[in-house]
Each structure stands twice: as structure tokens, then as C-alpha cells.
Amino acid sequence: MKKVYFVVNIKIDSTLKDKLELFLAENISWGWEEEKNLIKIYFDSLDEAEDFSKKIKKKFKGAQIEIIKYFDPDWSKEWKKYFKPIEVGKFKIIPSWDKGKISLHPGQIPIYIHPEMAFGTGHHPTTKLCLISLLKIHKKGLVKTKDTFLDVGTGSGILTIAATLLGLKGVALDIDKVVMKNFKKNVELNGLDFPYFFIGTTNSLKKEKRFTLIMANILLDPILDLKNDFVSLLNRDGIIIISGILNEQENRVIDLYKSHFSVVEILQEGEWSSIIFKRK
């Protein structure tokens, strides 16, 4: 018997799309589809779809929303429509079904990702900016082989995998239990042995544990809330990569962090920003 899904279709003005994506990243752990200004979210029940539609209508007054009954999409086929190999610096992000089929340029580093219910295929600007930031600090020697890292809000594990492929060793952390299975699958796809994965907050970590690098591709509020935790978890002269914020939110982060961190570089793509900080 075919499974029934309920699809919430959201049409929204392009000027509000980035803010909607931020809201979705905070509330939808399994991802969504995008077609220009149309966003599609799949739910298992009509009640869930209706409840979420009410939240969108309340927060985004001009959004046009409809709920459609949809029968058993083949997720592997659906993902193949939207997830194509992309290059981010010297990383080439390749979907699992194309492993062994895609040619690489000399010096390219492949990252294999199987998309499931976790954020991070490399296509979103915030993930791209994190990967580019990681490559920049590695090239500058600000992080080196065998340095330690913490990946806060790891999702699919793409940043953890990238850092590990560059020779770093570290810990992946996420508050969502749903991502664990996908994280482990992606780690295995890349031939890595990486047992350090925690479900929980930074409080799950030992207080004496310190890292050379912290990567936090999350949202503005937790970025602001976790500042003191990041100070205590990062080595002196350590690096933190912040992403998941809009251009207009940069100054709020910098103003709060400047007492303990100096700005190394700010990267932008469209409305999104990534800030590289160095611990004072």
C-alpha cells in the first residue's frame, strides 16, 4: 500500500525568502524542496501540515499556502532531480548515487552525501560559506593537521566530514536525534572512522575539553546565546566559523563577540554571511 504524504506548498515574495528559510531551518529538520519562489514541505499527517501552515501564516502575512495530498514519492528519485554534484573550492560534493561515476580534477577532495532528514547537502549558501571559510583558514595555516574541531549543529555531517578530510580530528554535536542515522551513513560513505558524535547541547561536553576550531552553522539566537560556551571551549588563538546569519545580522554577532574574538574575515553570498573569528 502506498504511503500518503501531505505537502505544504508555500509561495512567498522573494524579499522574504531568506527569512522564511531561516524559520524553516529552525523548525524543519528533514528539509524541503525549492522551485523559484515555491517551497514544498512534506508531512506524515494532515494535522501536522495544518498546524505548520498556521505558524507560517502567522509569521509571514503575505505567504500563499496550500496543502496537497501526495502519494508515496520515491525519495531517491525526487532527490536526484534537485541534488547534483557541485564544487565548493577544492571540495566536490557528490550525491551517494553518483559515487564512482563523477570525475575529479587533480587536487579535488570529494565529499559524498546521502540526503535524508538532515540539513547540509552543500547547496545552501550558509553551508557553502562554511566550507569556503574552512578552506581559507586551512590554507592560511590557522588550523593544521591533527588540530581539534567542534561542529555545532552538524546535521548531515558535511562540515565534520570536510574538516576530517583536511586532517583535523574532532567532535560533532546536534540537538536533533533524527540526524544521527544520516550522519553515520555519510561518514561511512566517505570512508571515515569517526565515533565522536553527541546528541545534546554544548553542556554535553566535558568542561575541560578545548578545541582549535569551532564551526557553528546554526541560527542567530543560538549563536548569540552560545557565545560564552564558545569562549570556554576554544583554545587561545583558536578559530570559530559562524554561519546561518543574514548580512543584516552581522553587526549584532560582531558586537557581542568582540570582547573575546577578533574578526579575521567576513564572507557573503547573496543575503547570507559567514564570519571567521579568532580567539583573543
DSSP string, 20-67: HHHHHHHH-TT--EEETTEEEEEESSHHHHHHHHHHHHHH-TT-EEEE
Examine the pLDDT at 1 and tell me if it is beyond 60: no
**pLDDT tens, position by position, 8-25:** 999 988 888 888 888 887
Mean pLDDT, range 155-183, rounded to an integer: 90
Examine the pLDDT at 134 and tell me if it is beyond 90: yes
Distance of alpha carbon 178 from alpha carbon 64, whole angstroms: 29
- Measured in degrees and rounded to the nearest 5, phi and psi for residue 148 equal -100, 150
| Cα dihedral 25, 26, 29, 30 in deg (nearest 10) | -40
Ranges for all domains in the chain classified under CATH 3.30.70: 4-73
Query: Is residue 173 within 8 Å of residue 155, measured between CB atoms?
Result: no
Give the CATH H-level superfamily of domain 81-279: Vaccinia Virus protein VP39 (3.40.50.150)
Q: Give the pLDDT band of residue 76 (cuts 50, 70, 90).
A: low
Distance of alpha carbon 261 from alpha carbon 277, whole angstroms: 6
Examine the pLDDT at 39 and tell me if it is beyond 50: yes
- Spell out the residues 6+ positions from residue 277 whose beta carbon is closer than 8 angstroms to its own: 239, 240, 241, 242, 257, 261, 262, 263, 264
Record the pTM. 0.78
Examine the pLDDT at 109 and tell me if it is beyond 50: yes
4-73 has CATH 1.10.8 classification: no
Ranges for all domains in the chain classified under CATH 3.40.50.150: 81-279
**How many CB atoms lie under 10 A from the CB of residue 126?**
24
Distance of alpha carbon 86 from alpha carbon 78, whole angstroms: 18
Q: What burial letters (b/e) apply to 6-35, b meaning 16+ CB within 10 Å?
A: bbbbbebeeebbbebbbbbbeebbbbbbbe
User: Collapsing DSSP states into helix, strand and coil, what is residue 234?
Assistant: strand
Examine the pLDDT at 3 and tell me if it is beyond 70: no
**For the chain, percent of residues with pLDDT exceeding 90:** 54
